[in-house]
Structure 1
């Protein structure tokens, strides 16, 4: 393990997973319980990716490349489709909910084509990340616009929806331009690419810390909002 600091984000992720289980224990609204399962799955994926790179790629029964990109490539599709599902439940506009379904279908179709024929499993599927991050940014902004335009303003800072939207918007607003230019930067300016990658790691820590705040809220969103 050359740089243990790059795995610090696993700490707030793990703590947020543990805290998110209270949504299941206390029978919060369905999408929030689903988000808890999503975080748990994300944590298991991250642990598997680290384990594969450090040890699991080579055993007495097989000998593969230690690259774990294939794990992340398989993860991106359900990850971003889940975000569409989650925010479609948070948005109250029926027209937006309707189009969320078709956005998810379009993303899944493009993602599968990209994995099989375009970027394939041999490299990081940045096209899927770019498309997916754009969707998350759009959905997060639509949620904030929805709350801003309410005839009767509500205090949303005490609800999980607010913090989940904030954390998602924070990370993906930076990851989007990063992955748009990463191939160019990798060829022309590796030190800058690494510096930006470290910033992305810090934002990962911030996002999972904000998710942790979401599941510490005392006033979860009522079921009628979903």
Structure 2
């Protein structure tokens, strides 16, 4: 496909984010394809967040972003709760299996940050409001100091996919926010005590709540389908 050839061109010419690609006509000549083919390929690559066309300036390599991937994943998962459950399972196994690294690497400053986030979450629970932003930052902060720098990024991606799919779903979600908050407290307490097993137990409880939410969403969706038939 032409879009693959354009990506190969970027790699072979060692173009970095912000670097300009040749004009469409010149790029088409170098690739041996039509200008229309290059234009369609560019549109696809823009959708994927790989290149960016700036009016009057030309075509440029973009900084890599997971946003287009997240948008597409969330949209697809909105229709298939089993896929969403599978994503959740992968995220759980990553966090559960690597929590020992988080415990070993955690600092007092990190624990203080997590407790501050817990304060925000507690205030939201008391007001009956969402604490999604604090929850996302909680999981980001949890993995700040682990050796594998990709863990936090992967967990954050899965968090965003789940949150966006849940938000876009027409099925109402009614999690027990107080219980979820308490399990976050248990995770921080385990980190402060450098207790790996307690951290794992708290993580299991936390994900068990999310799985229950998914089950409720599935039941509600099936109920809606029955009513419309």
Do the structures match in fold with TM over 0.5?
no
Higher normalized contact order (CA 8 Å, seq sep 6+, divided by chain length): 1
* Bigger radius of gyration: 2
Q: Which has the higher helix share?
A: 1
TM-score, with normalisation over the residues of structure 2?
Answer: 0.30
TM-score, with normalisation over the residues of structure 1?
Answer: 0.30
